[in-house]
Structure formats: structure tokens, C-alpha cells
Structure 1
Amino acid sequence: MLGGLGQLARPDAVTSLRFLSEFVNPPASSTASSIVSPPPTTANSSGASKRQKLPLPGSGPSHVLDCGAGIGRVTKQVLIKAFDHVDLVENCAAFVKQAKEEYLKEEIELGRVGEVRCSGLQNVNFEGTSWEGRFDVIWCQWVLGHLTEADLIAFFKRCKKGLKPGGMIFVKENNAKVGIVIDEEDSSMTRSDQVWKEMFEKSGLKLLKDDVQKGFPSGLFAVKMYALEPIP
């Protein structure tokens, strides 16, 4: 959620697409080719250069899950440009209704958006459901601050069951400078980069690359993106 700062939507989307492009080949029909070309190789992009881009050969059309999707802004502006099919999960029933009936209605009718599930992430299960082994990527943006440490680690561990072989998890979240900052209004947590990396390690996830969102005004929390893969 952009908290009323709608002007941040484009830099948010452009940076996300460029970050994804180091690990994912967009569909041939994608109109985002002008902005998804990866930036020049940098020292912290070695993880991307060592693995084959998704979707892997023989794995069929690419699928992504948008976690904490709201009405589907990230789906429409980012994920649908980088993947063949998008599923969504969102805790707020009103947002799910708006996504289905208005904001993503056309994409649903075209078959680009599949299931829009109403659930909190702490209750999302993959094993034994239609989402088991379905996704090339699970994308989590501005939602994980609502999970406790125990729920967050459990969620990441369950996500592994939702991934195809070679699949990845991407996290894009605000970063505190130190420790954890609690929002007194909604009890959400803004974790520091160090805390995030501790959570990934405890969840059995390997960090391949991280990067900072550019183009946001000063005075806001820094926003970082993390590309992760399960540790065998």
C-alpha cells in the first residue's frame, strides 16, 4: 500500500520489474521489455548470474503468487508483465471483492489472473492444495510486517511447498535503521535489514540478491527488495 502517495507507483513498479528481470524471463507478449532489461552487472548480483532464469525449460507457463495483494495494484503494474499467470491472496474481503469485480476484472476474464483467495498469510497452506508446486515465484510486498516472527518463519517454510523446482521467493518491505519499529496504530512491525536477513536464515532461505528501491522521497523508511531461494 502506498499510503496515499500514488506518485510512487511508477518508480515502485519500474524498480520491481528490473529486479525481477535478473531472475525471470517475461512472457513473449509482455509490453514491459523497454523497462525490464537488467541493469549493468554489479558486485551483489552474482546470485542471479549463477542460476537459470525462470521459468525453467519444460515447466510450462510461468506462475506467480501475489501475497497481501490488496486490490491488485502490484499484480496489474508489475507481476502480470513478468509472468503468464498470477494468483492472489489478500486478507481483506472488501479488497478481494474490488479486485474480482472491478480492478482486475479484465485480467480475470482474459485468464491472466486466476484464483483471488481471501486469507491471512498465517493461514495460507500450499501442501495438498491446488497451489502445491504451482509457482515459479511467490512475491510478498508490504505485508509481512503484519506477521509475528513465529508466523513469518512458518509462512516462509510453507511457501517452499508452493514453489516449482527452482522457484524463488521475493520480498519487498520497508526497512528500519536498527532493530524493529512497532506501529502503534496497526501493530505492524518494520524490521531492519539485519533482522530480515536473520528471518530468512531461520526460515531456511538463501539470499541471492538484495537492492534498495530508488526514486522515493527522503523521510520515508528505506525500501529493500530481496531475492531468495530455498536451501536444499
Structure 2
Amino acid sequence: MLGGLGQLARPDAVSSLRFLSEFVSPPSTSTAASIVSPSNQSSEPTASPTTTATKRPKLPLPGSGPSRVLDCGAGIGRVTKQVLIKAFDHVDLVEGCPSFVKQAKEEYLKAEIDSGKVGEVRCQGLQHVRFEGTAWEGRFDVIWCQWVLGHLTEDDLIAFFNRCKKGLKPGGMIFVKENNAKVGIVIDEEDSSMTRSDLVWKEMFEKSGLKLLREDTQKGFPSGLFAVKMYALEPVP
């Protein structure tokens, strides 16, 4: 969620697409290529890489079928519409708030659902999402989590990451985009959500058996806000 700062939507989307482009080949009909092309680098805020990307085949892997992504904590589908639908053939969503799910289905993503680009929109909290033994087992090239994981406790977060592994195709990845505290964990007094520091995030990834491939810092946001970082992860073999 952008907390009423709608002007951040474009720099957020552009940075996310550029970050994804290191690892994902967008559909041939997508406009993502023009957004992440070098000619546009000077005119849009960019992410600043702090980890060298591991050389790996871009997703989807040959023979794995159309590319698929799961948008976790999707809200009404802003990230799906502005980012993920440009980078993948198919998008599924999971969101815990019934009113957001209703708005996504009936209004914001109706055209994309009708066209088949958006598939299932599931109303469920992440602590309850299951992949193994469901239609989502082994389904996704990428599981994308943005501005939602602060609502999970440490135990629930680690359990969620471990369940996500069952939702990935071979070679699949997990992407995290979240606010970063400077030190430790900052608790929001209104909703009890947690803003973790970069160090705490990396501890969570390690405890969850995830390998960090790349991390970037979002640029183009006003000063005074939490830093926002993006992490590209894969399960440790």
C-alpha cells in the first residue's frame, strides 16, 4: 500500500520491473521491455544494486510452460496491474481483506480477469496459505511479496517462506519488497505491524533456507520515509 502517496506508484513500478528484468523474461507482447530499456534509465528513478546477481537462466525455464507469478498481500491489485501483468503471462493473487478482494474482482482487475491474464484471486491471510496438495503446488515461477510481510510474526514468516517453496516450479524464485528500519524492528502502534531492518530480513531469509541473489534499494521516494529494499531469493538446495 502507498498510504495515500499515489505519486510513488510509477517509480515503485519502474524499479520493480527493472529488478525483475534481471531474472525474468517478460512476455513478447509486454510493454515491460520499453520500461527497463537503457534509453529510459536516465529519465526514471532507478534501483541501486548492492549485490551482484548470480548468473542463472531467466524465468520461465525452457519447457516449464507460460510464466506464472503469485502476488501476495495483493490489495486491490495495484502491483499486479502495474508490474506483474507486464512481466508474466499469468498472475494469481492472495489477499486477506475481503473488501479488497471484492474490488479487485469486480472493478480494478475485472478486464484482466475476463481476458485470462489474472486467474485466481484468493481471500486468505498469508499465515493460512497452503501450496502442497493444492492447485498452487509447483505452479509459480515467482512468488512476489510487497508491503505485507510486516504483518507476520517471525515464526509465521519463516513458516510461510518454507510453504512457498512448495509453490515454486523448479528454478522458481521468491521476491520480497519491504520497508527497512535502520536498526532492529520498529513496531507500528496502530496496526502492530513490524518494519524489520536489512539485517533482520537477512536473518529471516537464512532461517527460512533462502539464498539471497540480489538486493536493490528503491530510489525516487521522498526523504523521511522508511527505506524500501527489494530482495531476490531462491531456495537453498
TM norm. shorter chain > 0.5: yes
1:104-142 Cα distance to aligned partner (Å, 9 max, x none)? 000000000000000000000000000000000000000
Corresponding residue for residue 60 of structure 1: 65
TM-align CA RMSD:
1.4
Q: Distance in 1 between matches of 2:31 and 2:18?
A: 14
Q: Distance in 2 between matches of 1:190 and 1:43?
A: 20
1:34-57 Cα distance to aligned partner (Å, 9 max, x none)? 11247799672232xx10000000
Corresponding residue for residue 140 of structure 1: 145
- In the alignment, does 2:157 pair up with 1:156? no
Secondary structure of the corresponding residue to residue 120 of structure 2: strand
Corresponding residue for residue 6 of structure 2: 6
1:34-90 Cα distance to aligned partner (Å, 9 max, x none)? 11247799672232xx10000000000000000000000000000000000000000
Q: Distance in 1 between matches of 2:182 and 2:15?
A: 21
1:11-32 Cα distance to aligned partner (Å, 9 max, x none)? 0000000000000000000012
Q: Which amino acid is 1:30 matched to?
A: S
Q: Distance in 2 between matches of 1:190 and 1:146?
A: 9
2:53 aligned to 36, 46, 58, which one?
A: 46
Corresponding residue for residue 213 of structure 1: 218
- In the alignment, does 2:194 pair up with 1:193? no
- In the alignment, does 2:223 pair up with 1:225? no
For the 8 Å contact 1:21–1:37, the answer to whether it is kept is: no
Gaps of 5+ in 1: none
TM-score, L = length of structure 1: 0.97
For the 8 Å contact 2:49–2:216, the answer to whether it is kept is: no
* Percent of aligned pairs with the same amino acid: 85
For the 8 Å contact 2:25–2:87, the answer to whether it is kept is: yes
Secondary structure of the corresponding residue to residue 80 of structure 2: helix
- In the alignment, does 2:38 pair up with 1:71? no
TM-score, L = length of structure 2: 0.95
Gaps of 5+ in 2: none
For the 8 Å contact 2:49–2:214, the answer to whether it is kept is: no
Secondary structure of the corresponding residue to residue 53 of structure 2: helix
Query: How many residues were matched structurally?
Result: 230
- Counterparts of 1:161-176 in structure 2 under 5 Å? 161-176=166-181
Higher relative contact order (CA 8 A, sep 6+): 2
For the 8 Å contact 2:165–2:235, the answer to whether it is kept is: yes
Write out the 4+ residue segments of structure 1 that deviate beyond 4 Å after TM superposition.
38-43
For the 8 Å contact 2:21–2:36, the answer to whether it is kept is: yes
Q: Which amino acid is 2:12 matched to?
A: D
Q: Distance in 1 between matches of 2:225 and 2:37?
A: 27
Corresponding residue for residue 126 of structure 1: 131
Q: Distance in 1 between matches of 2:37 and 2:166?
A: 30
